[in-house]
Structure 1
Amino acid sequence: MQQSYGFPAPDFRQQQPPQPQQLPPRPAQQPDDDENRSKKSKKVAGLLGMLLPWFGAHNFYLGFTTKAVLQMLLCLLTFGFAGIWGLAEGFIIICSATGSKWHRDALGRELRD
């Protein structure tokens, strides 16, 4: 090879790509891990939201205490009109799919169906 301007000439021959490392196989994980699931039921939370929307009972049940207290205060201040908020949340919880934010408790664990 010939050097030009003090640098070696580039080598354009085929180089072998690096071989990937062989990793040990990972153990199969079950998607319904009991440690990642809440003990609270989606149906109970939804029914509480539909039957007792003025008290924020579904939010107390799921662990969203601040939100539940706010719902109760708004219902008192609006003479129950803000109960529509709790009623709508009850329907949303019942219709929620696994993985959505409405299908989780306050600790972020999936609700049971």
Structure 2
Amino acid sequence: MSEEKQTNDTFNEAKKTASEFASNAKQTFDSTENKKILAGVLGILFGGLGIHKFVLGYNKEGVILLIATILTCGIASIVGFIEGIIYLTKSDAEFYQTYQVGKKPWF
């Protein structure tokens, strides 16, 4: 019986630790500054793939940018590069108001 209790205790401790980790990860990912930096860097490095759009929750626009990049043989990836620079040059407050509250999907 003690093995079963020990197994249950270990399971409950692991569950608690995983829950705390998930909570902290969500809080970190949801912070405005982290989204701004992540979206900006991804826009500059992988702009044509539209990954920065997916990070901000603009799934439709991300797919549009990906398809446009494929159809233009990569030329449309300049849009993602420019957006990445714009994201990184905005203040945290401007970024939050424009892209998270205002939901402005392009430039």
Question: Same fold judged by TM-score > 0.5?
Answer: yes
- 1:52 partner SS: helix
Q: 5 Å matches for 1:1-113?
A: 38-40=30-32, 41=34, 42-100=36-94, 103-104=95-96, 107-108=100-101
Per-residue deviation, 1:68: 0.6
Alignment-mate amino acid for residue 50 of structure 2: G
- 2:31 partner SS: strand
Using structure 2 for the length normalisation, give the TM-score.
Answer: 0.58
8 Å Cα contact 1:46/1:94 also seen in 2: yes
Listed as ranges, the gaps of 5+ residues in structure 2 are 1-29, 103-107
More helix by share: 2
Q: Distance in 2 between matches of 1:56 and 1:108?
A: 20
What's the % identity of the aligned pairs? 30
Using structure 1 for the length normalisation, give the TM-score.
Answer: 0.56
Per-residue deviation, 1:106: 5.9
Q: Distance in 1 between matches of 2:83 and 2:100?
A: 18
- 1:93 partner SS: helix
Per-residue deviation, 1:47: 0.2
**Structure 1 residues 65 and 90: CA distance shift in structure 2, 3 A:** same
**Structure 1 residues 61 and 95: CA distance shift in structure 2, 3 A:** same
Per-residue deviation, 1:99: 3.5
Q: Distance in 2 between matches of 1:64 and 1:79?
A: 22
Listed as ranges, the gaps of 5+ residues in structure 1 are 1-37
Paired residues in the alignment total: 71
Per-residue deviation, 1:107: 4.6
More strand by share: 1
Alignment-mate amino acid for residue 70 of structure 1: I
